[in-house]
A and B are shown apart, each in its own frame.
Chain A
Amino acid sequence: MEVTHKKITSLRMEHITKRFPGVLASDDITLTVEEGEVLALVGENGAGKTTLMNILMGLYQPDEGRILINGEEVHFKSPNDAFDAGLGMVHQQYMLVPNMTVLENIALGYKQAWSPIKLDLGMVRERINEISKKYGLFVDPDAYIWQLSVGEQQRVELVKTLCLGARFLILDEPTSALTPQETDELIVLLKRMSSELSIIFISHKLQEVKDLSDKIAILRHGAMVFEGTTKDHSPSDIAALMTGHEVDLPQNDAPSCNGTPVLDLKNLNVKSDRGFLALKDLNLTIRGGEIVGLAGVSGNGQRELAEAINGLRKVESGEILFFGENIANKTPYHIIEAGMGYIPEERNTEGIVPSFSMKENLILKDSGRDEFSKHSFLKNKAIEKNANDLRVKFDIRSPNIHVAAGSLSGGNIQKVILAREISRKPKFLIAVYPIRGLDLGAAEFIHKQLLEKRKEGIGILLVSEELDEILDLSDRVAVIFKGQIQKVLDRKDANRRSLGILMAGVKDDQTV
């Protein structure tokens, strides 16, 4: 059976408004896409891009506003309605079921192959072949999703969306998990597809916006702040519109210092949750008073590295020398007491106990210290004083120190964590994606604090995907790929291009 949909000659969202508790996620947004156009939806994290697209796909219901296709109003109660109208979306976090095959994942949405008592996988297989040939997108239908790499999974997502008959593609940050080289391939592919399909793609990477889009729409704090044609605007214009002011984060301009090595990782082997080696004989040395940026596409072992150093993940073999002591497989408590500070990736679930008050979270690592308890009894006055002091010093915006930490905004949660970690006077600090998803004000504050700690002579390991962040702050840059350090560069030798190549797994610059 052939899937046929009416052509979408125009799509229009009018006056879309959507509220979440305490947040106005979409504020009276209107946008239009015509046939064969590529619209880039641009904005910072949290600007409301994904919410808007989820509304378009029928995943969320708008509180106000309407959607028009070919001039007629449509109501999408669920994604099914959106599929039927010819829309398809590739989400940022791939929507695939890991313990099913590619074939089964696509069959899940391919209702033509459903009869009450039998699933016609043969029909799905044919459909996949047809689409694969048409767009030059090849996937192995019998592979399990968990066996596939991120790039392959994205291809499955694209094939799935096209198999289900999409004439109008929505892509949510399609390149965020790809290497620069995979990104280039995707851009070429999307350009080819744009001759047949209309595309909306969400991004905050300006280069690909320039490369791919015809039109551009910029969101800020849930509202549309700009709409226009791409070719009339330079990337710096767009950046300024995105952020509201020129991007100006603090930079590491102090001379690099040659302190003694404080953290020395030797032939480290660590397994991932799935049981294979996420770190393979990894070696890295960090000295006091320097920031080492760990660059890499996420999923190359960064999480495992941070967890292993902090005693939260078993080290299979190798040494972690921390001021000369091997802390591999020591308890988190022991490592904390040795002077390790850690700003974890998952700030909402790992960095704080969400249901605990702010003041309680600020003593998470110190409830047993004499400062905060005596004969095992907590000293409430000292705890409150500590919280009040840190609240002022770190500019934590909360109604008071008794509110549940989980109710604070992302930036303020991160400040709570930072306040706790820094006020403990650590001898070393690991910061994992410290500004991900934060507004510029909070990001600037956090970067300043990190640089200040560096000045005080503390070694810092900064894990990030954002090359700008790495290049702004680091004294040296280590690139991680498939659980190994590809290369360690001095700040002056590193640039976006050289790092991109290393992140893609190419070791020698000369080969590219």
Chain B
Amino acid sequence: MNFIVNILSLGIPFSVALLIASLGEMFNQRAGVFNLGCEGIMAMGAFLGMLVPYSIGQGGPTPGIYNVLGLALAMGVGALFGMLFGFVVVTFRAPQGIAGIGLQMFGVGTAGTLFRHFVGGTQSVPGIGNLPIPFLSKIPILGPIFFSHNILVYLAFLFVPTAWYILFKTPWGLRVRAVGTNPRAADSIGIQVNKVRYQALAVGGALAGLAGAYLSLCQAKMFSDEIIAGRGFIAVALVYFGHWHPVKIMGGALLFSLAQALQLAIQGQGINFPYEFAVMLPYVMVIVVLAFSRESQLLGPTALGQPFNREKRI
């Protein structure tokens, strides 16, 4: 019993970075843009998130406001990167897959360059501590699993219904879905396709930035070049796996992080198998999951990856 509680209470915070980044990528893809540069934006977010508390607090205890500033900076720059990507793939209509790789290299490189200049070496930050919810966190079993985390964990899971509501119940969500499925139809009815795509990219970028900052402020409490470790790419895969639906994406994020928690727990039990194979697990899972999840033609954004050009004659 204790073992299971451990796995769950460990796995849930693990899922947060994936969940936030995937929800952001979901908005991108619903609008028809495939942003493989998520990894790069997350790296920037991770660096910027810890930069503010680090440079002001210099490692000492910092008031929460600096953490909030760090998160805000990560989201702001994330949105900016999303729009930069939009400039390349929406305005200039460049092929999205390869451009995404460019953005990833740019983001990871920039984060590394700035980190070496402003921080230098491995430096930890106090980060954002846990915030057990009064009373609820005292409930046996459920308390440690659900109510003893840091604030971003709660927020991330609130994002799920919020994202669902935005996507399916607001005019903006309607526009996003329209431009990602039939941009010509959206255009003919007076919706500015490229504008909506930029907006979605900004939202997606901000969320990717936040996801990165979560890693540096809440999970690792430091920055390193390998901090993202492919989570940006896994987040993109989760969007396919979750068929562009927030709830299914959450399921995917939990599946991944629980598997990871399970693996850590098993190692903790002293069962011996090579550490490297344990680390491989999520990457292998992505491939397996992609190989066996069938895309549903009727539900997905059918214009995914296709730039919009009104004056292109067919």
Residues of A within 8 A of B (CB): 20, 57, 59-60, 78-80, 83, 89, 91, 93-100, 104-105, 107-109, 113-119, 144, 146, 160, 164, 273-274
Contacts and interface: CB of A to CB of B under 8 A. Distances in A.
B311 A99 contact: no
Interface string B174-197: 110110011011111111100000
B298 A99 contact: yes
A273 B295 CA distance: 13
A60 B174 CA distance: 24
Nearest to B166: A117
Contacts of B117: none
B267 interface: no
A470 B187 CA distance: 37
B184 A95 contact: yes
Given A59-B187, A79-B188, A96 B182 contact: yes
Given A99-B302, A113-B171, 11 more contacts: A79-B189, A93-B184, A95-B189, A97-B178, A98-B181, A98-B182, A108-B178, A108-B191, A109-B191, A119-B174, A160-B189
A100 B299 CA distance: 9
Contacts of A94: 185
**What 7 pairs between A and B have smallest CB-CB spacing?**
A80-B190, A95-B185, A109-B189, A114-B171, A95-B188, A79-B190, A97-B182
Contacts of B313: 20
Nearest to A20: B313
Interface in B234-281: none
A126 B185 CA distance: 23
Contacts of B178: 97, 100, 108
B227 to A, nearest CB: 35
B185 A96 contact: yes
A96 B177 CA distance: 12
B122 interface: no
B299 A99 contact: yes
A108 B189 contact: yes
Nearest to B171: A114
Nearest to B311: A60
Nearest to B312: A20
B226 to A, nearest CB: 39
B58 interface: no
B12 to A, nearest CB: 29
A21 to B, nearest CB: 9
5 contacts: A79-B190, A98-B181, A98-B302, A108-B185, A119-B174
B294 to A, nearest CB: 11
Contacts of B298: 98-99, 144, 146, 274
Nearest to B313: A20
Contacts of A97: 177-178, 181-182, 185-186
Contacts of B173: 119
Interface string B276-294: 0000000000000000000
A477 B297 CA distance: 35
A117 B189 contact: no
Residues of A contacting B: mostly = loop
Contacts of A79: 187-190
A461 B240 CA distance: 41
A258 to B, nearest CB: 42
B311 A118 contact: no
Given A20-B311, A59-B310, A96-B185, A107 B190 contact: no
A104 B192 contact: no
A59 B188 contact: yes
Contacts of A57: 188
B188 A89 contact: yes
Select the residue from A57, A94, A96 with max chain B CB neighbours within 10 A.
Answer: A96
Interface string B144-171: 0000000000000000000000000111
A60 B187 CA distance: 11
Contacts of B188: 57, 59, 79, 89, 91, 95
A100 B192 contact: no
A165 to B, nearest CB: 12
A100 B181 contact: yes
Contacts of A93: 184
Given A91-B188, A96-B182, A118 B170 contact: yes
A95 B171 contact: no
A119 B297 contact: no
Nearest to A147: B298
Contacts of B169: 118-119
A89 B236 CA distance: 38
A484 B275 CA distance: 61
A273 B297 contact: yes
Given A78-B190, A78-B192, A89-B188, A104 B174 contact: yes
Contacts of A80: 190
B92 to A, nearest CB: 18
A96 B181 CA distance: 9
Nearest to A114: B171
Contacts of A116: 170-172
A372 to B, nearest CB: 31
A119 B299 contact: no
Contacts of B190: 78-80, 83, 109
Contact of B170 (A60, A95, A117): A117
A94 B189 CA distance: 12
Contact of B181 (A99, A107, A117): A99
B171 A115 contact: yes
Nearest to A120: B171
Contacts of B174: 100, 104, 107-108, 119
A385 B181 CA distance: 46
Contacts of B170: 116-119
A146 B171 CA distance: 21
Nearest to B169: A119
Interface string B300-314: 101000000011010
A105 B300 CA distance: 16
Contacts of B186: 97, 108
A91 B187 CA distance: 12
A203 to B, nearest CB: 20
Contacts of A78: 190, 192
Given A20-B313, A79-B187, A91-B188, A100 B297 contact: no
B198 to A, nearest CB: 16
A107 B168 CA distance: 12
Contacts of A107: 171, 174
A81 B310 CA distance: 17
Nearest to A115: B171
A97 B186 CA distance: 8
Nearest to A273: B297
A139 to B, nearest CB: 16
Select the residue from B184, B310, B311 with max chain A CB neighbours within 10 A.
Answer: B311
Select the residue from A109, A144, A146, A274 with max chain B CB neighbours within 10 A.
Answer: A109
A100 B310 contact: no
Nearest to B183: A97
Select the residue from B175, B184, B189, B192 with max chain A CB neighbours within 10 A.
Answer: B189
Contacts of B191: 108-109
Contacts of B185: 94-97, 105, 108
B38 to A, nearest CB: 24
